Structures are given as C-alpha cells and as structure tokens.
Amino acid sequence: MTADELFPLALAGRVALCIECETVTRAPVPVRYIASTSGPGTTLYACPEHAVKLGADLTPEGALRHP
C-alpha cells in the first residue's frame, strides 16, 4: 500500500458533490430532497453556479419554516 491509499485526502468543512457538473464544491446549495420510506431521506446538492440554473425545491427544513 502506498501512503496515498493509507491516508486519503480528507476535505475539511462542508463539501458535497454537485448533481449537475459532478464536481466537489465547498459551497453546496441544497436543491432536491428525495424522501425515503425506510429511513432518512437524501438531500442533493449543487454548486452555487448550477443551483441558480436548477432552482431550489422545498427541503424538509424549509417546509418547517414556511407552513
């Protein structure tokens, strides 16, 4: 094993994969929420550039704030 395999790159802070360009972004914007019947749902994120293009759907947190 190499040192890179033993110690993979760990990104500090909040990061996510953009669903549009499939790159890692350090400023993720929640744009979709997929509900699940057998556990917690999944939030999909986009980079700020693509978040504007995709538009944001209501997330569970947003639904609680805006009844």
What would the pLDDT profile of 24-49 be if each residue is shown by its tens digit? 999 998 888 888 889 888 889 999 99
3-state secondary structure 22-65: CCEECCCEEEEEECCCCCCCEEEEECHHHHHHHCCCCCHHHHHH
Kindly state whether residue 18 falls inside one of the protein's structural domains: yes
Residue 7 lies in a domain: no
Range of the domain at 37: 14-65
Residue at 2 is within a domain: no
Number of domains in the chain: 1
Domain membership flag for residue 9: no
In a domain, residue 8? The reply is no
**pTM above 0.75?**
no
In a domain, 36, yes or no: yes
Would residue 6 count as lying in a domain? no
Q: Is residue 33 part of a domain?
A: yes
More confident residue, 5 or 50: 50
